[in-house]
């Protein structure tokens, strides 16, 4: 194995390409050809519209190749309403599959849950001010890659800005899997019921990340639940188990500097290359009402398993306990939890659960 990273090597036959509204097919010498008031090739078409109820094909690429960077930005609200980031669904199809390998509200894919913008700085996802959403997941494909957006927003979205940076002609070994990402929501399950983050991954493969958007529906600390990875033949007990949710995302002691009930603690949010707690809010950001704007506390957390992927040979199930602590003892909770699981596996994949309707996808 070379000690030099790939970007230092000349790779015969591998070509760089990019797709955006200025060059929707990524053709050689075809970027920026549309005209504006400044003339030909002067920023003639920087974005595409997304009408209500419509679908937009961002890219349809013939392989083999590798998507290396995905950048998207769009309004978080429109005159028709808020929660655009939950109303727009990102789907990615590999080769000629009919069922998507990636299906998630676009905000949650980029660790922006609750339909709200939040800056994130990490190895795989960076959301820069104010809403430039970047993915650096490596996404190899052998025959074809198709990326689509579906709007379930009640009104038109005037501008979707995007760029798909990729290469063609890459040699992709048989051992390399395809990226998958799946969104789920558990809204007030019975107490004592664990949240299912993923239960239909089929191997061989490796699990590489989790995003969690948790709205706390009861008093006291909400993060004692363990994240569990049931690998291959595991049934009742997992092979890998965290010690608590804040521990799983690299934090400790409830993200706060004081455990004394007589003093108000300072609670810290943070992002790092492989984990973070970037979002904490008890304020309604929908803009729908100028009156009472308090909401149940909402928390966004992520963890990337790049140095420590969870490898599985035949199957993988991932769960999260809903356990709290009131300062004296543990107790069972029932919160509103949305998750995105990210993993690589060979195709074909097991069918995903049917995505909930737009109203149920929107935050509480």
- The stretch 208-229 carries a mean pLDDT of 97
Arithmetic mean of pLDDT over the chain: 94
pLDDT tens per residue across span 114-133: 999 999 999 999 999 999 99
Q: Give the integer Cα–Cα distance in Å for 258 and 252.
A: 12
SS3 of the chain: helix, strand, coil, percent, to 5: 5, 45, 50
- The stretch 257-263 carries a mean pLDDT of 73
- H-assigned helices in 127-265: 245-248
Position 1 scores a pLDDT of: 62
Indicate the pLDDT class of residue 200, thresholds 50, 70 and 90: confident
Position 86 scores a pLDDT of: 97
pLDDT tens per residue across span 230-242: 999 999 999 999 9
Q: Give the integer Cα–Cα distance in Å for 211 and 7.
A: 29
Dihedral (Cα; 146, 147, 153, 157), 10-degree rounding: -110
- The stretch 175-194 carries a mean pLDDT of 96
DSSP structure class, residue 267:
B
pLDDT tens per residue across span 30-85: 998 888 999 988 989 999 999 999 999 999 999 999 999 999 999 999 999 999 99
Query: Is domain 6-361 annotated with CATH 3.20.10.10?
Result: no
The structure's pTM equals 0.96
Check pLDDT > 70 for residue 22.
yes
End-to-end CA distance of the chain: 49
Position 267 scores a pLDDT of: 87
3 state SS of 152? coil
336, 59 contact by CB (below 8 A):
no
């Amino acid at each position: 194995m070379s000690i030099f990273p790939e970007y230092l090597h000349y790779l015969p036959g591998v070509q760089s390409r990019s797709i955006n509204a200025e060059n929707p097919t990524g053709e050689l010498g075809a970027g920026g050809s549309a005209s504006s008031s400044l003339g030909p090739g002067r920023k003639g078409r920087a974005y595409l519209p997304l009408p209500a109820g419509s679908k937009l094909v961002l890219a349809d690429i013939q392989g083999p190749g590798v998507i290396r960077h995905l950048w998207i930005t769009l309004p978080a609200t429109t005159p028709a309403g808020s929660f655009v980031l939950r109303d727009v669904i990102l789907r990615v199809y590999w080769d000629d599959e009919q069922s998507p390998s990636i299906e998630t509200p676009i905000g949650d894919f980029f660790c922006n849950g609750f339909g709200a913008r939040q800056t994130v700085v990490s190895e795989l996802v960076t959301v820069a001010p104010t809403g430039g959403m970047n993915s650096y997941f490596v996404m190899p494909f052998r025959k074809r890659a198709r990326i689509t957006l579906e709007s379930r927003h009640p009104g038109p979205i005037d501008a979707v800005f995007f760029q798909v940076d990729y290469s063609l002609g890459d040699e992709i070994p048989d051992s390399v899997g395809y990226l998958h990402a799946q969104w789920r929501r558990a809204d007030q399950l019975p107490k004592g019921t664990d949240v299912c983050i993923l239960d239909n991954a089929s191997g061989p493969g490796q699990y590489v990340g989790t995003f969690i958007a948790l709205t706390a529906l009861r008093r006291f600390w909400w993060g004692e639940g363990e994240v569990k990875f049931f690998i291959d033949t595991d049934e009742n007990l997992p092979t890998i188990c965290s010690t608590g949710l804040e521990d799983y995302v690299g934090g400790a002691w409830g993200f706060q500097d004081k455990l004394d009930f007589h003093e108000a603690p300072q609670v810290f949010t943070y992002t790092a290359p492989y984990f973070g707690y970037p979002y904490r809010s008890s304020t309604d950001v929908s803009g729908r009402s100028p009156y009472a704007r308090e909401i149940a506390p909402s928390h966004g957390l992520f963890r990337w398993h790049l140095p420590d992927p969870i490898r599985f040979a035949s199957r993988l199930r991932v769960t999260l306990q809903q356990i709290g602590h009131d300062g004296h003892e543990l107790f069972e909770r029932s919160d509103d939890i949305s998750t995105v699981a990210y993993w690589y596996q060979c195709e074909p994949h097991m069918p995903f659960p049917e995505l909930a309707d737009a109203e149920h996808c929107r935050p509480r």
